[in-house]
Amino acid sequence: MEQLLSGIASWDGGCVTAATVLSFNYTSPSIPSVWRSEATFKFINIHGKLNGDIIFGADGTNCMDDPGAARFFKTFRIIRSGRPGGGEPIAFGAPLKEEPRETVVIKVFGHSLAKADYAYFQAIFDIVDIYTGPVELVFFYKSYCETAREELLLNISRLLDSYGASMDNRDHGKNLMHRLILEGRLSVVELP
């Protein structure tokens, strides 16, 4: 896993100065040694770890106002656990005087991009202003079968289409994927 994370972090040959890994599984992989000594590198198991406090639940995006059901939603359980990112931001918008960091690349690997997690992507895309901001989206995959790339492309299309439908300007939402492609901000990369 250390080799995989290092490869994803530096896939474009650039120097990585900060990274936040938002993991949706329950494992605690070996973190690249260079990251362990840097405060600007974080690994967050958003749904807990195998050795404790695993968070199961449904996506409550459209039902959070139902008090009887709220406790069964992942969002409620994460905030109840007291550890959604350890109180630290996970994504950064345009740099501000008091917070000079900015998210410039979002790299995704091993995520199904299923509807149940769209709320995470929507929140992150909103924070970084995916439509007008400089953020690049890179989706990595392993070719475990002949259709792996095609399946990922369809899932990316569904994710971006769903996010586009949530945008205030519907026309921007309809052409989000086109814009990302034209600006060189959407990549799909096969890992060795």
Q: What is the pLDDT of residues 6-61, one digit of tens each?
A: 666 666 666 666 777 777 777 776 666 655 555 567 777 777 777 767 766 666 66
Domains of the chain: total: 1
Q: Which two tokens stand for residue 136?
A: 């690049």
Parent domain of 161: 91-190
- Any domain includes 167: yes
157 found inside a domain: yes
Cα separation, 15 vs 9, whole angstroms: 9
Is 154 inside any structural domain?
Answer: yes
In angstroms, rounded to a whole number, what is the distance separating the alpha carbons of residues 70 and 85?
20
Task: Note whether residue 97 is domain-resident.
Answer: yes
Tell me the three state secondary structure of residue 42: strand
| 165, part of any domain | yes
Residues counted in the chain: 192
Question: pLDDT tens-digit profile of 73-101?
Answer: 666 666 677 655 555 565 555 555 455 55
Structural domain contains residue 52: no
In a domain, 56, yes or no: no
In a domain, 40, yes or no: no
